[in-house]
Amino acid sequence: MTANRDSLPYRISTSELPAESFRTIPHPLNPECIRQSFSLGDACGLTKLGVHVCRVAPHTQSSVLHWHSNEDEWIYILEAGGSGATVIIQAGDDAALKEEKAQKGDFFAFPAGKRISHALRAGDQELVYLCSGSRLEMDVCTYPSVGKSLVIDRTKGGSNWFVNESAKERW
């Protein structure tokens, strides 16, 4: 289902989205990290902001720990079940991992370039959350736990590619 184009082209009722509207997205660096996602922003024509409603199956991690160089990102927990979910944080590439309980109504913000790696893990029930971020022409998403970065090029004709951190030359 997309926005109600008859009356409100900017409105989507997420409670009416059929299951097949969601894309299943296994993470390219770890296929055990899986989420289902529907792009609210794309469906309503947003171009400068990505907004997604995401679902994560019980006991599954949403993504590989990551942080963005240029793009802000935020997460708002809609449903986490009685046992809640877990947000996994690494504040700095060499910092210890920290796990915090996440409940319905929690908001998490990850400013661009702050090196706060993060991921979510569902508890005993499905996790449902909104996530959003800026959509700049260029970004680098760093995955410190696997030693890779994703260069994101949204310019016309651009593409994305992974870089091994060990192969990068510093100048």
Task: Kindly give the confidence (pLDDT) of every residue in the chain, 171 residues in length, as a single tens digit, with 9 standing for 90 and above.
Answer: 444 445 566 888 888 888 889 999 999 999 999 999 999 999 999 999 999 999 999 999 999 999 999 999 999 999 999 999 999 999 987 899 999 999 999 999 999 999 999 999 999 999 999 999 999 999 999 999 999 999 999 998 888 888 887 776 655
The answer to whether residue 167 sits within a structural domain is no
CATH of the domain at 63: 2.60.120.10
Could you give the number of structural domains in the chain?
A: 1
The answer to whether residue 5 sits within a structural domain is no
Q: In this predicted structure, what is the pLDDT of residue 28?
A: 94
Nearest to 131 by CA among 84, 74, 89: 74
The answer to whether residue 165 sits within a structural domain is no
Question: What's phi and psi for 72, nearest 5 deg?
Answer: -70, 150
pTM of the predicted model, to two decimals?
A: 0.88
The answer to whether residue 80 sits within a structural domain is yes
Q: In this predicted structure, what is the pLDDT of residue 50?
A: 95
The answer to whether residue 2 sits within a structural domain is no
The answer to whether residue 149 sits within a structural domain is no
- Which residue is listed with tokens 């090196």? 115
Q: In this predicted structure, what is the pLDDT of residue 13?
A: 87
71: containing domain = 20-135
Nearest to 149 by CA among 126, 170, 128, 168: 168
Q: In this predicted structure, what is the pLDDT of residue 168?
A: 64
Answer yes or no: are the C-beta atoms of 108 and 24 closer than 8 Å. Answer: no
SS3 44: helix
Q: In this predicted structure, what is the pLDDT of residue 6?
A: 56
Q: In this predicted structure, what is the pLDDT of residue 165?
A: 79
The answer to whether residue 168 sits within a structural domain is no
